Amino acid sequence: VDPPRTNFIRQIIDADLAAGKHDRIATRFPPEPNGYLHIGHAKSIALNFGLALDYHGTCNLRFDDTNPLKEDVEFVDSIQADVRWLGFDWGDRRFFASDYFEQLYQFAIELIEQNLAYVCDLSAEDTRTYRGTLTEPGRDSPYRERSVAENLDLFARMRSGEFGDGSRTLRARIDMRSPNINLRDPVLYRIKHGVIHHQTGSAWCLYPTYDYTHPLSDALEGITHSLCTLEFEDHRPLYDWCIDHVSVPSKPRQIEFSRLNLEYTVMSKRRLTELVSEQLVNGWDDPRMPTLAGLRRRGYTPAAIREFCERVGVTKSDNLVEMALLESAIRDDLDASAPRRMAVLRPLKVVLTNYPADNHELVTLSNHPKDASMGNRELPFSAELWIDHNDFAEQPPKDFKRLIPGGEVRLRGAYVIRCDEVIKDAAGAVLELRASVDFATLGKNPEGRKVKGVIHWVAAATAIPAEIRLYDRLFRVPTPGAGGTDYRADLNPNSLQVLTDCMVEPALADVTAGERFQFEREGYFVADPDTAPARPVFNLTVGLRDIWGK
């Protein structure tokens, strides 16, 4: 295993440790429990937990749960399951920002006492108008000069539930003319009645904002390096302002890195939630989704996702990562680890006219051509076989190396056969092939001629019927919704193709969900949880080769 590649965050940590600023490092992964984790979160998880492991520090799992309307324990549970599945462990270091609500409230009182926060009666809309724009300075709220005593009184009454939703906020008193809009008296607290918070129930009707909660939670937990994505760069002065003006036990440092963007998908939780709720996909774990639950069901391994994150690296420049990079990580993993099997996706019957109908022979195939330790398996061979429709052509294109009328092909691990006759229905569709076996070709080249093509097959008598689901990219374009159009218009209508009449080899009869295979000449597949006894269901994880035209 290669040592982790260095990056600018590691360099900062190395310098901080060398300067004696810290004697240990502490990071955190702070998801909001309002959706399932996606591949972008994996980058943040791998970074935060990975640093803690490498530097013998700690990484907290902290739920950033300040927005109870959109949050739910379903998401708390799925996030924990996904972080564990990725291979990381927070031990007993699981926290909720809501654990700190009382402490945060006390910090707010400290700010009010220093005349650094005030209760403002502007509506949400007026607050926005007063804040100004990038080119226009903000204006002071008419409530900005309230006395400390009045602010303390009003803030306590906000907590006790005296005022309605949206009627008052607590705002930091910073600078309405700051070029950084985040510093123009940002809102610290909002009133929300009647919501049942998944952790604190109905204890509060006053909720702190993310920008206020995040730095103080970091400080309370003794986080040394608080890593977040680049869009929070402009929030850093507010982050520092919060920890500089209340009596926190430590001073974390916020460092921004570029978020992961992936081609042909969407990653904002709002859009992912819409795809699920509008049933444009089959749930959060639909194998086309970029969620970790979706990727898991698709057959991705945790190791491949961690390797992908490593290959993407950590920088400060935004970029759009090619799908091919994600796919090459799983292909490399499965090429080494997945046992080989034969599965016929679009079965076409072949009757071997010179093979005894009652003969049952076993042929031996290796489970992995490059790894003898994975052993061999024995496969029944008989007079009736299934091959793939795509491996036969009456009018073959140029360079077609599979079966044609009068032509020969090798059946993988078995004999060379010749196609003697094509049986068709009245409309001319091919129903069945009649072929003959060259008995001298088991494990040997035929005499006096070259047979180039090798195709896969299964014996009809012992084949297991299976369902196979083929997936393509969820969107037709690299950046769905680019240029202001509705991203839904870019959905790929052919992203799922379900083949219900597949025939697979008997070794696949009792697979359990999550088992991964290479189906020879087709790609890598995983058994889906919909698998039933004697009725396996497989998902295409990735094809054998990069088809992205790179």
Catalog residues that contact Mg ion under the rule CB under 5 A. Answer: 32
Among 27, 44, 58, 301, binds ligand ATP (CB under 6 A): 44
Letter for the amino acid at 235? H
Catalytic-residue membership of 398: no
546 among annotated binding-site residues: no
**Interactions with ligand ATP, residue window 331-360 (CB under 6 A):** none
- Considering the candidates 146, 168, 190, 269, report the single residue annotated as catalytic: 269
Q: Which does 31 bind (CB under 5 to 8 A by kind): Mg ion, ligand ATP, none?
A: ligand ATP
Judge whether 466 and 508 are in contact, CB under 8 Å.
Answer: yes
Edge-to-edge strand ranges of the sheet holding 496-504: 340-341, 516-519, 523-527, 537-542, 464-471, 496-504, 343-344
The verdict on 11 binding ligand ATP (CB under 6 A) reads: no
Q: Which does 229 bind (CB under 5 to 8 A by kind): Mg ion, ligand ATP, none?
A: ligand ATP
- Taking the complex as a whole, how short is the minimal distance between the CB of residue 541 and ligand ATP, in angstroms? 22
With CB atoms as reference, the residue minimizing the distance to Mg ion is: 32
**Interactions with ligand ATP, residue window 254-293 (CB under 6 A):** 259-260, 267-269
Catalytic-residue membership of 192: no
Catalytic-residue membership of 162: no
Among 13, 25, 31, 239, binds ligand ATP (CB under 6 A): 31
The verdict on 479 binding ligand ATP (CB under 6 A) reads: no
Q: Which does 469 bind (CB under 5 to 8 A by kind): Mg ion, ligand ATP, none?
A: none
| CA distance linking residue 64 with residue 217, whole number of Å | 9
- Taking the complex as a whole, how short is the minimal distance between the CB of residue 304 and ligand ATP, in angstroms? 17
**Interactions with ligand ATP, residue window 209-228 (CB under 6 A):** 228
- Considering the candidates 10, 32, 93, 150, report the single residue annotated as catalytic: 32
Token look-up 């998401």 returns 75
**Paired residues of 466 in beta bridges:** 502
On the CB side of 463, how many CA atoms lie within 13 Å of its CA? 26
The verdict on 236 binding ligand ATP (CB under 6 A) reads: no
As given in the structure block, the two tokens for residue 148 are 């400390």
**Paired residues of 364 in beta bridges:** 378
From residue 176, alpha-carbon distances to 76, 136, 171, 525 in Å are: 37, 10, 11, 58
- Taking the complex as a whole, how short is the minimal distance between the CB of residue 180 and Mg ion, in angstroms? 20
On the CB side of 521, how many CA atoms lie within 13 Å of its CA? 16
| Closer residue to Mg ion, CB minimum distance, 32 or 240 | 32
- Taking the complex as a whole, how short is the minimal distance between the CB of residue 232 and ligand ATP, in angstroms? 7
Judge whether 269 and 35 are in contact, CB under 8 Å.
Answer: yes
The verdict on 30 binding ligand ATP (CB under 6 A) reads: yes
Token look-up 């950046």 returns 479
| CA distance linking residue 505 with residue 378, whole number of Å | 10
| Closer residue to Mg ion, CB minimum distance, 32 or 432 | 32
**Paired residues of 467 in beta bridges:** 537
- First-to-last C-alpha distance (Å) of the chain: 27
Q: Which does 521 bind (CB under 5 to 8 A by kind): Mg ion, ligand ATP, none?
A: none
For the chain, helix, strand, coil in percent to 5 are: 30, 25, 45
Q: Give the residue numbers of the binding site.
A: 32-34, 38-44, 64, 210, 229, 259-260, 267-269
Active-site residues, by number, are 32, 259, 269
